[in-house]
Amino acid sequence: MKNKEIKLPENIPVHVAVIMDGNGRWAKKRGLPRVFGHKKGVDSVRNIIRASAEFGIKYMTLYVFSSENWQRPENEVKQLMKLLEELLIKEEPELNKNNVRVRAIGQIERLPDKVRENLNYMIDKTKDNTGLVLILAISYGGRNEIIDAIKKIGKAKRNLDELTSEEFSKYLYDPTIPDPDLMIRTAGEKRISNYLLWQSAYTEFYFTNVLWPDFGKQELFTAIEDYSKRKRRYGRVLVIE
């Protein structure tokens, strides 16, 4: 089915975070091993990155691999790490072509050496780009990020009586990234799954039954359109003049 004409609303989210769910179910429905779903999901990543840049989104964070994902079957984890290792090199020309800058958050030190090496290569090769900032949440867990921030605060010997939420944010994995305005989760699940727990205090959520490998430009537009109709109060009363 062809995409309908896209006319963007004025209220575009600055930062969109995505929980890319449903790769395994997509493969299972087709009688294929789970890794085929992950590979197909990469096509959706490419499409969404291009669409985000086109729509004028400034930041996009993708939940690539959670801290809990290390508990998956060993063979699947190895396949995922191998796929990630290859993609971090393969996708570099495309990202540079689209002026995308790559960053990463998470316990990166837990990644295999080659994956970490290729990730650093990607970050370095795209560091001067000025378009969409793509944040890869890899070996990431929201609780771990908060605990790691507390450890940094302890080492800095900060006066806890003077600590504010703004100051605390400076100790997160990348404090230069603004909080997400919109979080999208695919595949029908309605939970946050330990993702950006601190940052999503006032994030708007959008849930869709579409499996990640089937999520494309049109689905992203639909999520943005839904977001644009919301009234964000941040705990305050909305005054209508």
Residues annotated as part of the active site: 21, 69
Tokens (6 digits) for 183: 């979080």
Q: Which among 164, 202, 211, 168 is positioned nearest to 183, based on CA atoms?
A: 202
CA angle 139, 174, 151 (to 5 degrees): 75
Residue pair 174/103 in contact (Cβ under 8 Å)? The answer is yes
Q: Measure the CA–CA gap between 223 and 217, rounded to whole angstroms.
A: 10
Which residues, at least 6 apart from 48, have a Cβ–Cβ distance to it below 8 Å?
18, 60, 215, 216, 217, 220
Residue 72 CA: distances (Å) to CA of 34, 66, 75 = 12, 11, 8
Helix (H) or strand (E) holding 223: helix 217-228
Three-class SS of residue 106? coil
Q: Measure the CA–CA gap between 45 and 23, rounded to whole angstroms.
A: 12
CB atoms within 10 A of CB 144: 18
* DSSP 8-state assignment for residue 77: H
